[in-house]
Structure 1
Amino acid sequence: MAILKHSDQGSITGAIGPVTVYQSKGQSIVRKRRNIGGKPSTEKQLSRQQRIKLVVDFLRPIKEFTYAGFRDVDRAAGVSIYNVVTSELLRNAITGTYPAQEIDYKNVILSKGALKTAIGASVSAIDGELIFHWIRTAGDFNSTDRVMLMAYCPELKEAAYEISGAKRMVGTAILTLEKSWQGKYVETYISFRSEGKKISANSFYTGNLKI
C-alpha cells in the first residue's frame, strides 16, 4: 500500500513500496525504507525503487518547465502536476532491467496539450549555444505561440531551458548553455506554449548531441 501526500508546491511525500520520498531544502529525496520484519527486499521492489529514484533525480532541475508544460492537462482533484509528470515518466520513459535501468530520453514527454507540435524541428550546437529550427507554417493559427526549449545534461544532472521564447512564426531560437557543459552530451526538446500561457503542445525530442 502506498501512503502519499501532495504538498502545496505539488511535490510528492510519503511511502511508496520499499522507498520513502520526502522534501528537504526544496528537493525531492528518495531513500530506502527501513526493513520491517527483517525480510530482504525483492527484486521487484528494488526495481521499483530504482525507477522512482531515476525519475525524481531527472525532474529535480526541470520542475518549473514541466509545471508550465503540463498546466492544462486534465487531472483528478487533489492530483498535482508533479504527480502527473512522474506517472508519465514511470510508464513510458524508463528502459532496461534492474539493476541497469535508465531514463529513455527519446520517450520523455515534458509538455502536453492541444497546440500544434513542432514541425520539422532540429537543433545544432555552435560555440556553447543550441540553435533550434522549426518549419513556419503559412497562416498558422498559432503563429504567436511561444517556443519552449529544453537541454538536459545527464552527466551533470543539470538543465538549461526557456519557457517563453521566440514566437512560432520566427522559426528559430537560441538556448545559451553554461561553459561547464562544453564537451558533454545533452538531450534536447522543443515545445510551444500559447501566448496566454494556458495551453501547451506535446513536446518533441530533437535528439542527443555533443556541445
Structure 2
Amino acid sequence: MATYKKGILGVFSGKVGTVVGSSWKGISYMKSLPKASSKAPTALQIDQRLKFALISSFLKPIKSITNIGYGSVTGNVTPANAVASYHLNNAIVGSSPNFQIDYPMVMFSRGELPGPSVPVMSAAPGGGLSFSWVDNASANLAQSNDKAIVLVFHVPTREFVHSDAAERSTGSLEMSLPTHFIDGTVHAWMAFFDANGKQVSTSVYLGEETIT
C-alpha cells in the first residue's frame, strides 16, 4: 500500500481497474486488489473467519456508538478496525466452530474520561432495569453533564437497546425495555461520553439479569 498527494488524475476514492483509492485522516492511500488464492483455507484461517463474522454481526447494530467510543484511537487505525481488533483478541470464547461472545470482556468505548463509580444494575418490576452510580464529577476531566451511556443486549433475540437519558451528576437511571425482552437474559455495559462526544470513558460491564 502506498500514500500519495496527487495521482495521475488527482486523488480518487474507490476501485479503478486493479487499484483501490481511499483516504483516512487526510492521508490518501492507493493499493492493488488482492489476488484470488486457489489454496484451500487452513483450519486457522477458517477459525479466524468464523470469529470475524461473529464479531462483525455482534458489533454492527452499535456501530454509531463504537465509532464515538473508539474515536480517540491514534495513528492510521479507524474506529471500526480498532473495535474489531480488540474484540477479536479479547472477547471470544469457545472452541471451533462454536465460538461465543465473552460478554464481560466487551468494551464499546475506550478512553481517558473517568468512568462510572460504583455502578449497580438491578432488574425492575414490569420489564425494566435500574442503574445507579456515585457522582464523581470532581474527578480529573469529568464533568457533571457527561452523558451516561447504558447499553443492553438481549441474548435470545440478539438485540441492543441503549439510553443516554441521564448525566453523570444524576446518579441513577430507570430504563424500560421492549416487552419481548421479558423472561430473557440481558447483559449491560455503561460508560460516560462528554457533551461533545470527544472524550469518553472506558465502558464497564454491569452484569447479567433476567428480565421479569
Unaligned ranges ≥5, structure 1: 9-16, 18-33
What is the distance in 2 between the residues matched to 1:56 and 1:202? 20
Q: Deviations over 1:18-46 (max 9, x none)?
A: xxxxxxxxxxxxxxxx9x53x54322112
Q: Could you list the runs of 5+ residues in structure 2 that have no partner in the other structure?
A: 1-19, 25-33
| Distance (Å, rounded) in 1 between the aligned partners of 2:129 and 2:97 | 33
Instruction: Tell whether 2:104 aligns with 1:106.
Output: yes
RMSD: 2.5
Distance 1:5 1:131 in 2: 48
Residue aligning to 1:189: 189
Equivalent in the alignment of 1:76: 75
Instruction: Give SS of 1:114's match.
Output: coil
Deviation at 1:138, TM superposition (A): 7.0
Q: One-letter code of the match for 2:55?
A: V
Compute the TM-score of the two structures, normalised by the length of structure 2: 0.76
Aligned partner letter, 2:197: K
Change (3 A) 1:178 1:74: same
Q: How many residues align structurally? A: 180
How far 1:189 sits from its partner (Å)? 0.3
Cα-to-partner distance string for 1:41-76 (whole Å, 9 max, x where unaligned):
3221121011001101101211112122222x2232
Offset from partner CA, 1:148-169 (integer Å, 9 cap, x none): 000011221110012x331111
The corresponding residue for 2:118 is 120
Using a 3 Å threshold, how does the CA distance of structure 1 residues 7 and 108 change in structure 2: closer, same or farther? Answer: farther
Aligned to 1:55: 55
Residue pair 2:137, 2:168 contacting (<8 A) in 1 also = no
Matched residues in 2 for 1:137 and 1:202: separation?
15
4+ long deviations beyond 6 Å = 4-8
Larger Rg: 2
Q: Matches of 1:188 and 1:134 in 2, distance apart?
A: 14
1:22-61 alignment runs, 5 A limit: 37=38, 40-61=40-61
Separation in 2 of the partners of 1:175 and 1:128? 9
The one-character-per-residue Cα deviations of 1:169-205 (angstroms, maximum 9, x if unpaired) are 1110122211111111011001001122210000000
Structure 2 matches for 1:168-207, cutoff 5 A?
168-207=168-207
- In the superposition, the TM-score normalised over structure 1's length comes to 0.77
- Per-residue deviation, 1:137: 3.3
Question: What is the percent sequence identity of the aligned residues?
Answer: 28
Equivalent in the alignment of 1:160: 161
8 A contact 1:75–1:84 mirrored in 2: no
